[in-house]
Chain A
Amino acid sequence: MPPMRIGGEYGSRPVERRMLEKLNASSIDSVERYDWDELVQEDRVHRLIYTDPAIFNLEMTNIFGAVWVYLGHESQIPANDDYITVRLGLRPIILLRDSHGKIRALFNRCAHRGTTLCRKDKGSARIFTCPYHGWSYLNTGKLRAVPWPDGYACDFKDAKYNVAQVPHVDSYRGFIFATLNPDAPSLLDYLGPITKPIDEWLDRQPKGRIRVCEANRLKYKGNWKLAYDNSGDGYHVVFSHRSLLEMENRQADVANKGMSYYKNSPDTAPMYIAYMGNGHHFKDKRPNIERRAGGLWAVEGPAPGSEHYAEALRRRFGAKAEDILDLASSEPVNINVFPNFSLLGNHIQVFEPISVDETDVTWYGTAVVDEDGTLDGAVGDINALRMRTQEQFPNFGEVDDLANFEEIQRGLACREDEWIYMHRGLGIPGRVKTHANGIITAPATDEVFMREYIKEWKRLMKATPKLAAQREP
């Protein structure tokens, strides 16, 4: 029997939508009256896309629901019955590995009257029992039992009493994504060419594996797109992060630590920004770094334990230590998968919208995994050091960007000044290159990735996806 779909021609909210249409209610009307081509132009976008609650509301369907959204990493649910609680847009989700090993994203919502079933951040459970009236469910989402069933005339074998779940859940090399859109392409097709930098990011780790190890959890009062706009922005670095650049070079003989290569003329440096389709983009700063063992470690800023671990590893491993030290150093890339996932340095960064002007930005740390001893016992040392190098940027860099995002949101209260420009690089012959595979590249400070991803955003906002949850039959 094929899995049952909830909702019909109106997508996931048929009743809500029919009622609103009948009432000619403003919340649905105002968005449908928008001329998206006027709001998103070639060189600029309208302030409303960052400030209008109705647009945000539509994004929670047309973006956070209709495209593949990152939910978590497989290392966070390593064993059967493990779960974490996350969000898909605003929907509370239990991301779990069921008792048979299948990864599922259950709506954290009791089929009876809507209570969240699970209130913990993580754990292990075969059964979720609703705290309100005691309905219990298997971790496949199937209803297991209801208290005092004699009081019901219905047939509880009806699929409608199982917990609703996200129908499409898939992972790419450990990264778990989900979508409610039956017409979405496969995850692999959605990711497209950005899988190449993702592969390279993973393959520099032993056996191509990582483990998520807690996070720097941050929040700002601003629209979520301010973070995505920033994720490939090479223009802001020396200005927004000036205090960090000065700090990490305060003791250096040569000021080349961290992102110092942005100083002088970043546009003539070999690094570049690439737009990869479907809203994804990739800033590749690796060409700026000397390609040799220890090349990354040489420009890593100072961290607690740097000298001790570097010397101890060199004493023990000789020349091989340089490769090992590179594992504790930041990989100079920003790999951004629309709408909410970035790999940068050694972090997995996740953007989670809360409201039109509030967003969580979580920087998950990653550790090296070395089950078969490739690192010859150095894994503990390298992770101890890697934890400390990863804490640096959220503490001393990201906080300043977030302050600037908040100040953008404040600035955008000026209603009569409507436009936000993203035209750096536009119209300069030969600056932006489109390659045979459709990838667009430009110098590192170019805003072409913003212009391209926001075009994709516009296309998605114009669409009418028919989202649907699903239940076990």
Chain B
Amino acid sequence: MQTAYDPAISSYYVNDGLYRKLVEDFTDWQREELVVTAPELRDHFRLLIEREARLLDELRFDDWLAMYAPECIYWVPGTPGGGDPRREIAISFDDRRRLEDRIFRLRTGYAWSQAPKSRTVRLVSNVEVFATREGAARMVRSNFLISEFRVDGTRFLSGWCAHRFVHSAERWQIQVRQVNLIDCDRNLRNPSIVL
């Protein structure tokens, strides 16, 4: 998608076309015949996902955002399986500008839900890479377990991620990350960290 606008300032790319493609891309993509077995490629994506986890644990949000395509989506569905974000509320559905909002807010010093900040460690595993109909995109599934310590104890958030990577500017960039919490349709206490 080529636009004359800075997606960090105005949001034009979140439109019918994007939603339609999003729902299509995130439906029925984990198919056996599409699994990529080449070790170098699997390893490459595994490293990217581990790096992302480390950057988030260390709150290095600028480096983290740099892993994303300029026109990206961070999507935490509130219904198992994702649902249709045009017709239903998600836990979070951020475009680039809202992701930058999210980070800006955490840095104001007045985000009481993150003052003091949570300390987290993320385990990511079971990385599987899937080809797509478009040559320049890969879907990656991984499982995660986030241990989050804050004020009165440690809790665990778990689930699985679907990353859609696109190849652009000679690297793989994250275009969409869908974070599927196993308890996404239950009431959650203080969901204020970036997952």
A, B co-complexed: yes
Quick one: given A308-B15, A387-B85, are A243 and B185 in contact (CB under 8 Å)? no
Minimal beta-carbon separation of B58 from chain A (angstroms): 21
Contact B104 A217 (CB under 8 A): no
Q: Are B113 and A402 in contact (CB under 8 A)?
A: yes
Instruction: Decide if A250 touches B11 in the complex (CB within 8 Å).
Output: no
Q: For residue B104, which residues in chain A have a CB less than 8 angstroms away from its CB?
A: 246-247, 250
Q: Report if A362 contacts B (CB, 8 A).
A: yes
A214-B79 in contact given A308-B11, A309-B15, A396-B105 (Cβ < 8 Å): yes
Q: List CB contacts (< 8 Å) of B78-121 with chain A.
A: 78-79, 83, 85-95, 97-98, 101-102, 104-106, 108-113, 115
CB-CB nearest in chain A for B106: A243
A395 to B93, CA, bound (A): 10
CB distance from B68 to the nearest CB of A (A): 14
The answer to whether A304 touches B191 (Cβ under 8 A) is no
- The reply to whether B112 and A240 contact each other, CB–CB distance below 8 Å, is yes
Q: How far is the CA of A247 from the CA of B115 in the complex (A)?
A: 16
- How would you classify the secondary structure of chain B's contact residues: helix, strand, loop or mixed? loop
CB–CB B110/A304 < 8 A: no
Instruction: State whether B14 touches A360 (Cβ < 8 A).
Output: no
A341-400 residues with Cβ-Cβ distance < 8 A to B are 360-365, 367, 380-381, 383-384, 387-388, 390-392, 395-396, 399-400
Closest chain-B Cβ to A171's Cβ sits at a distance in Å of 22
Known contacts A217-B188, A396-B102; is-contact A246 B90 (Cβ 8 Å) = no
Q: How many A-B residue pairs have CB under 8 A?
A: 143
Contact A244 B93 (CB under 8 A): no
Q: Which residues of B contact A74 (CB under 8 A)?
A: none
Least Cβ distance of A413 to chain B in Å?
12
The answer to whether B156 has its CB under 8 Å from any CB of chain A is: no
A54: which B residues are within 8 A, CB to CB?
Answer: none
Residues of chain B contacted by A396 (CB below 8 angstroms): 101-102, 105
With A and B bound together, what is the CA distance between A362 and B188 in angstroms?
10
Task: Determine chain A's interface SS by DSSP, over half rule.
Answer: helix
Least Cβ–Cβ distance between B72 and chain A, in angstroms: 11
Q: Are A217 and B10 in contact (CB under 8 A)?
A: no
Tell me whether A243 and B108 are in contact (CB under 8 A).
yes
* Interchain nearest-CB distance for A92 vs B (Å): 15
Which residues of chain A come closer than 8 Å to B83, judged between CB atoms? 214
B2 contacts A by Cβ under 8 Å: no
Chain B residues, Cβ within 8 Å of A380: 16, 86
A215 proximal to B (CB < 8 A):
yes
Residues 59 to 90 of chain B near chain A (Cβ within 8 Å): 78-79, 83, 85-90
- Complex: chain A residue closest to B83, CB-CB: A214
Q: Which of A219, A242, A306, A403 gathers the greatest number of chain B CB atoms within 10 Å? A: A403
Contact partners of B90 in chain A: CB under 8 A: 214, 387, 391
Chain A residues closer than 8 Å to B106, beta-carbon distance: 243
Closest to A214 in B: B88
CB distance from A77 to the nearest CB of B (A): 17
Q: Are B113 and A304 in contact (CB under 8 A)?
A: no
> Is B171 at the interface (CB under 8 A from chain A)?
no
Contact A304 B97 (CB under 8 A): yes
B16 touches A381 (CB 8 A): yes
Q: Does A404 contact B (CB under 8 A)?
A: yes
CB pair B87 A213 closer than 8 Å: yes
- Do A304 and B95 touch (CB < 8 A)? yes
Contact of A402 among B9, B92, B109, B190 (CB under 8 A): B190
B149 within 8 A of A: no
Contact assessment for B11 and A404 in the assembled complex, using a CB-CB cutoff below 8 Å:
no
CB-defined contacts of B87 to chain A, threshold 8 Å: 213, 367, 383, 387
Closest to A347 in B: B89
Residues of A within 8 Å of B190, CB to CB, are 220, 399, 402-403, 406
- The minimal Cβ–Cβ distance linking B99 to chain A, given in whole angstroms, is 10
> CA–CA, A407 to B11, complex, Å?
36
How distant is the Cα of A216 from the Cα of B189 in the complex, in angstroms? 11
A218 within 8 A of B: yes
Any A CB within 8 A of the CB of B186: yes
Q: What residues of chain B lie closer than 8 Å to A248, measured between beta carbons? A: 101
Residues 38 to 52 of chain B near chain A (Cβ within 8 Å): none
Is A142 among interface residues, defined by CB-CB distance under 8 A?
Answer: no
**Distance between A360 CB and nearest chain B CB, rounded to angstroms:** 4
Distance of A383 Cα from B115 Cα, bound (Å): 34
**Cβ–Cβ < 8 Å partners of A303 in chain B:** 11, 98
The minimal Cβ–Cβ distance linking B149 to chain A, given in whole angstroms, is 15
Sample of 22 A–B contacts (CB below 8 Å): A121-B185, A213-B87, A214-B83, A214-B90, A215-B89, A217-B78, A240-B112, A243-B109, A246-B108, A247-B108, A304-B93, A305-B11, A306-B10, A308-B11, A308-B14, A363-B89, A381-B16, A387-B93, A399-B111, A399-B191, A400-B110, A407-B112
Known pairs A302-B98, A390-B89, A403-B112 / 18 extra A-B pairs, C-beta < 8 Å = A242-B110, A243-B112, A244-B105, A247-B101, A303-B98, A304-B14, A308-B13, A309-B15, A311-B12, A367-B87, A387-B88, A391-B93, A399-B113, A400-B113, A402-B113, A403-B115, A406-B190, A407-B112
Which 4 pairs, one residue from A and one from B, show the smallest C-beta to C-beta distance?
A: A305-B14, A365-B89, A304-B95, A399-B113
